[in-house]
Chains A and B, each alone.
Chain A
């Protein structure tokens, strides 16, 4: 307990940055992922192809490699100075967006085609079919796996530690300078992560029960 209380400043600073990385990347990944997901289910073959290419390429790239490119490669392109934190957010968003896109796509796939056919049969046009029949069901199906994606994103923020972004993963190296035993520091970091992930898991279970689609 002493290790945590005596160095509360560094723990708070580290996890504050973790949460900033998490929230900003989550929002950006949602926006980009929705665009890519929409492309993957669009009726335009070119859009589908581009979406599929992006998802397959990035999902088969280690996140560490993406971070590596943005942390070390980007400055060589002389595109203006961005902080390591910003670059880490870009890498995390680009990576997580592919998972968001896949979750959205599989959400649409859980809606039986008969639902759309039934909606058209009773004379609804495209807009009402979407907003009243398909999207509500797809949205509900998407919530639990989407939370899993965010839990993964939260844990993935630690990768930024390897690229000099001060967040939870770097707390160890700061405290090593203060002479704190590494194992205890790391166990505290792990414990805080367990708490944060548990919070997200509880939200996930709640939403899952409340929004289950009865079929």
Chain B
């Protein structure tokens, strides 16, 4: 490990590190042990509480809820990327009457909590006579407006990181502005930003769980429903464990893709150089830490 923080350890440091390692193990075991003990003491591991999850019908419903979660995620992901592309084009426009409204739009929707956006759709619009707002529509719209705005900034950061010579070369060989964008700027920007874009999609996937609050019948909604079944001893904790595992596996899979893409792009020296040059846009960074929730 090359670290800026520590030297190669000498004999005393090695001994100290061993003691710290043992202490960490003890503390972690104590915490995990306590949680497991409380689970056991309150009967969370009894067969009765888990019996619910032995029925095939239950798993069919779980599967259906997973599909609903994934369809909300898929729709929101595609629409966010489209919206992000459109907004990022507007953001770099030379016409102030396009640039300024687009800037206000992105700043506005980045500042409003996603849940409030969903509530505006779900509770706010129907009394005004808007009838098509199902929970699904509310969830997808909320996610799209927010993540589209975030992705617009990501695309913009990607374009701004390109060396100026790239655009100039495009104009020099007689390309129009649209061609420069389509063939020169965006392909490079998207490729450099791919890890950040996918990491932001993990945020979309996680935030579909907010749909539970506006009565969208996705995984968490079902978790609460099954957790409240009195006939099975209200297995809310077993239910949280089962549904939590599903969520974590889905998100880990997507995070894994992001990490894989990042390693692959880093292997290409040209893109790696470009990623390094990406300016510090507030909240947008490379390496996962800058992804906004």
Interfacial residues, chain A to chain B (CB-CB below 8 A): 39, 41-47, 50, 56-57, 59-65, 68-69, 72-73, 76-79, 99, 102-103, 105-106, 108-109, 111-113, 115-116, 120, 126, 130, 134, 144-145, 147-148, 151-152, 155-156, 158-159, 161-162, 168-169, 172, 176, 181-183, 186-187, 189-190, 193-194, 197-198, 201, 204-205, 208
Q: Known contacts being A148-B282, A156-B113, is A68 close to B223, with CB within 8 Å?
A: yes
Whether B116 contacts A69 by the Cβ 8 Å rule is: no
Pairs across A and B, CB under 8 Å, 9 listed: A60-B248, A62-B208, A72-B240, A76-B237, A115-B4, A134-B4, A145-B290, A159-B115, A183-B128
Tell me if B125 counts as interface (CB < 8 A to partner A). yes
Whether B282 contacts A204 by the Cβ 8 Å rule is: yes
Whether B24 contacts A190 by the Cβ 8 Å rule is: no
- 1/0 per residue B34-47: CB within 8 Å of A? 00001101101000
Q: CA–CA, A120 to B247, complex, Å?
A: 47
Q: Known contacts being A47-B21, A108-B4, A187-B120, is A63 close to B115, with CB within 8 Å?
A: no
Q: CA–CA, A186 to B138, complex, Å?
A: 14
Q: Known contacts being A64-B220, A183-B124, is A46 close to B5, with CB within 8 Å?
A: no
> For A193, what are the chain B residues with a Cβ–Cβ distance below 8 Å?
111-113, 116
Whether A183 contacts B120 by the Cβ 8 Å rule is: yes
Tell me if B243 counts as interface (CB < 8 A to partner A). yes
Stretch touching chain A among B162-170, B181-189, B209-217 = B209-217
Q: CA–CA, A43 to B38, complex, Å?
A: 33
Q: Known contacts being A47-B20, A161-B213, is A186 close to B4, with CB within 8 Å?
A: no
Q: CA–CA, A41 to B5, complex, Å?
A: 8
User: Which of A46, A61, A182 meets B24, CB within 8 Å?
Assistant: A46
Which residue on A lies nearest to B130, using beta carbons? Answer: A183
Whether A61 contacts B113 by the Cβ 8 Å rule is: no
| Majority-rule SS of B interface residues | helix
Closest beta carbon of chain A to B11's beta carbon, Å: 14
Whether A189 contacts B42 by the Cβ 8 Å rule is: no
Q: CA–CA, A197 to B100, complex, Å?
A: 19
> For B74, what are the chain A residues with a Cβ–Cβ distance below 8 Å?
none
Whether B240 contacts A69 by the Cβ 8 Å rule is: yes
Whether B116 contacts A169 by the Cβ 8 Å rule is: yes
Extra inter-chain contacts (7) besides given A68-B220, A105-B289, A183-B123, CB under 8 Å: A41-B5, A47-B21, A57-B248, A63-B206, A144-B282, A148-B282, A169-B116
Q: Known contacts being A61-B244, A161-B213, is A103 close to B289, with CB within 8 Å?
A: yes
Interfacial residues, chain B to chain A (CB-CB below 8 A): 1-7, 9, 13, 17, 20-21, 24-25, 28, 38-39, 41-42, 44, 108, 110-117, 119-120, 123-125, 127-128, 202, 206-210, 212-213, 220, 223-224, 227, 234, 236-237, 240, 243-244, 247-248, 251-252, 255, 280, 282-283, 285, 287-290, 292-293
Whether A63 contacts B283 by the Cβ 8 Å rule is: no
Q: CA–CA, A99 to B13, complex, Å?
A: 29
> For A201, what are the chain B residues with a Cβ–Cβ distance below 8 Å?
111, 282
Q: CA–CA, A39 to B20, complex, Å?
A: 11
List 10 A-B pairs, minimum CB-CB distance, nearest first. A183-B124, A162-B213, A62-B209, A60-B251, A64-B209, A148-B283, A155-B113, A197-B111, A62-B206, A46-B21
Closest beta carbon of chain A to B250's beta carbon, Å: 8
> For B227, what are the chain A residues with a Cβ–Cβ distance below 8 Å?
72
Q: CA–CA, A190 to B108, complex, Å?
A: 9
Q: CA–CA, A172 to B120, complex, Å?
A: 10
> For A168, what are the chain B residues with a Cβ–Cβ distance below 8 Å?
116
Q: CA–CA, A72 to B39, complex, Å?
A: 14
Q: CA–CA, A183 to B133, complex, Å?
A: 14
Which residue on B lies nearest to A182, using beta carbons? Answer: B123
